[in-house]
Amino acid sequence: MAARRQVMWQGSDERAPGLEHLLVGQGWASSTVIGLAAGAPFTLRYRLEVDETGRLLTGMLRISGAASLTLTRASSGRWQGNGGEELRDLSGCTDLDLGVTPYTNTLALRRLRLHPGQSGEVLAAVIEIPSFTRRVVRQRYTRLGPHTYQYENLGGGYSTELSVDDELFVREYPGLFRQLRLG
């Protein structure tokens, strides 16, 4: 991956339109998401720090004019919240999933390093935006080809094909996100 990269996505769900501008560097990503949830606009600013394998170390989430949440994942797998309290409900989660961005799919794909025909499962801490409600979801990714992955939410029966670029940034997440061309 290049030292720094910018990516933009447009939400393609008419019920929850949005726009994201992501800046990614070595070991970090910083983004602004402007969206609509339950008929109300929100602006989310997030910064994620990851280790060399793509494993989340820290996630800092802030809703403009509202709440913030900091998540830390220790090497032991324990998750901590804003005040350092242990988030036992996220025990065992390997990944973070923010439903308002396809970037968290990129992190899982990079960490799994799948070859065509291979599948891998993750246990994801899903954080709903803007409420910061959290839940745990088992997810499976199957690499179908050089730029195509099958995503499955194993607990909810949802499945879709993701189109990605050479650096595994989502190009198309059908019905939800579409990467915009820059330059």
Q: Report the residue count for the chain.
A: 183
| Structural domain span for residue 156 | 5-180
The number of folded domains in the chain is 1
Q: How many CB atoms lie within 10 A of CB 75?
A: 8
Phi/psi for 123 (5° steps) reads -105, 110
Q: What is the mean pLDDT of each run of 10 residues along the chain (183 residues)?
A: 84 82 96 91 96 89 93 88 91 92 95 97 95 95 98 93 97 94 79
Residue 182 has what pLDDT? 83
Residue 3 has what pLDDT? 74
